[in-house]
């Protein structure tokens, strides 16, 4: 069967109409098969379990061969939006059945998926884009599957937050992924205030309609920071704008038509090492009550970003006292 004819057959199998015996037979014949650059490939059989499969965040070619094999061989593919996921599956000629699994139906669908695992099936879980379990309900399914003794495997791959961090030019040794900030203004301001003292690079997801307001709130709440605003990563209109947070907030404030998916990467506080001696001593006393000097210094350095040499000297002095 040629690749074009296979793709046509697979689209016919996804019409949503009741499956006839003939369609079921075609589906099983297509099991374990996918199309790569016009060539029909066969995937090895899958062991039972839950497979967490990373999928492209934009460019459909950003997918691993192992991910294609698992998607082609799975008994069923659980995904957030079946329409979006079918674009990827159709592109690679994958004809496995899909089922929606998202925030609104997770409580109802999760027991059914666990029941299928109990029957020895192999289930692939994907998100709309990127690595599943990041800003989606997949972690509850993975947790319950693991708690019930089923095999849970991760297939690493594309990740919007890591891609944005890599191209941002900002510190990568320590970062905090915040996801989406609260929609309500008071809650958003409260959360930004809590993030202000975090001595790490911050990574935040945002949408086009809200990007200007979010950048304005971040500039007001965090003060002077370096930032990289990444839009539509790996897609045709990919854009990365770097600069000072307040300046980029002003730039986006004048663009009412901005669209796309954004990742905001914000550098750590520029004065993170400028702790008062009293604050550092209080933090160290607490740590020394629980830990050795070496462990207390490591914890304080991670929390404050202050030089280890300075922290170690203060720890020895406090231990001596």
DSSP string, 89-101: HHHTT----EEE-
Residue 314 banded pLDDT, cuts 50, 70, 90: confident
Helix or strand holding residue 211 (H, E): helix 208-222
Give residue-wise pLDDT tens across range 42-94.
999 999 999 999 999 999 999 999 999 999 999 999 999 999 999 999 999 99
E strand spans, 27-115: 33-36, 39-42, 49-53, 76-79, 98-100
When comparing pLDDT for 153 and 134, which is higher?
Answer: 153
- Backbone φ and ψ for 179, nearest 5 degrees, come out as 75, -140
- pTM for the predicted model, two decimal places: 0.75
Give residue-wise pLDDT tens across range 205-241.
999 999 999 999 999 999 889 999 999 999 999 999 9
pLDDT of 32 higher than 50: yes
Place of tokens 């203004």: 185
Supply 135's token pair.
């800003």
Q: What is the bridge-based pairing of β-strands 226-231 and 175-180?
A: unpaired
Mean pLDDT of the chain: 87
Burial of 17 (0-12, 13-18, 19+ CB in 10 A): exposed
pLDDT of 3 higher than 70: no
Burial of 266 (0-12, 13-18, 19+ CB in 10 A): buried
Mean pLDDT of 272-287: 71
When comparing pLDDT for 320 and 195, which is higher?
Answer: 195
């Amino acid at each position: 069967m040629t690749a074009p004819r296979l793709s046509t057959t697979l689209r016919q199998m996804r019409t949503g109409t009741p499956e006839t015996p003939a369609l079921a037979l075609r589906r099983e014949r297509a099991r374990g098969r996918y199309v790569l650059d016009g060539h029909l490939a066969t995937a090895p059989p899958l062991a039972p379990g839950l497979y967490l499969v990373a999928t492209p965040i934009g460019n459909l070619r950003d997918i691993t061969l192992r991910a294609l094999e698992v998607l082609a061989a799975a008994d069923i593919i659980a995904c957030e939006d079946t329409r979006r996921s079918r674009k990827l599956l159709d592109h690679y000629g994958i004809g496995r059945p899909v089922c929606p699994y998202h925030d609104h139906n997770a409580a109802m669908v999760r027991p059914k998926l666990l029941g299928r695992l109990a029957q020895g099936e192999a289930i692939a879980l994907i998100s709309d884009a990127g690595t599943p379990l990041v800003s989606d309900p997949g972690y509850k399914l993975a947790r319950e599957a693991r708690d019930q003794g089923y095999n849970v495997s991760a297939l690493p791959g594309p990740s919007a937050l890591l891609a944005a961090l890599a191209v941002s030019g900002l510190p990568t040794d320590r970062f905090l992924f915040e996801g989406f900030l609260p929609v309500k203004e008071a809650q958003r301001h409260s959360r930004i205030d809590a993030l202000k003292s975090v001595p790490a690079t911050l990574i935040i997801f945002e949408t086009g309609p809200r990007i200007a307001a979010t950048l304005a709130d971040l500039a007001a709440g965090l003060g002077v920071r370096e930032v990289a605003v990444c839009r539509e990563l790996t897609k045709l209109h990919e854009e990365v704008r770097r600069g000072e947070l307040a300046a980029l907030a002003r730039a986006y404030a004048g663009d009412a038509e901005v669209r796309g998916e954004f990742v905001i990467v914000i550098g750590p506080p520029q004065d993170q090492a400028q702790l008062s001696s009293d604050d550092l001593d209080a933090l160290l006393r607490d740590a020394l009550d629980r830990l050795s000097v070496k462990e207390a210094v490591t914890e304080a350095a991670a929390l404050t970003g202050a030089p280890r040499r300075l922290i170690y000297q203060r720890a020895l002095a406090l231990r001596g006292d």
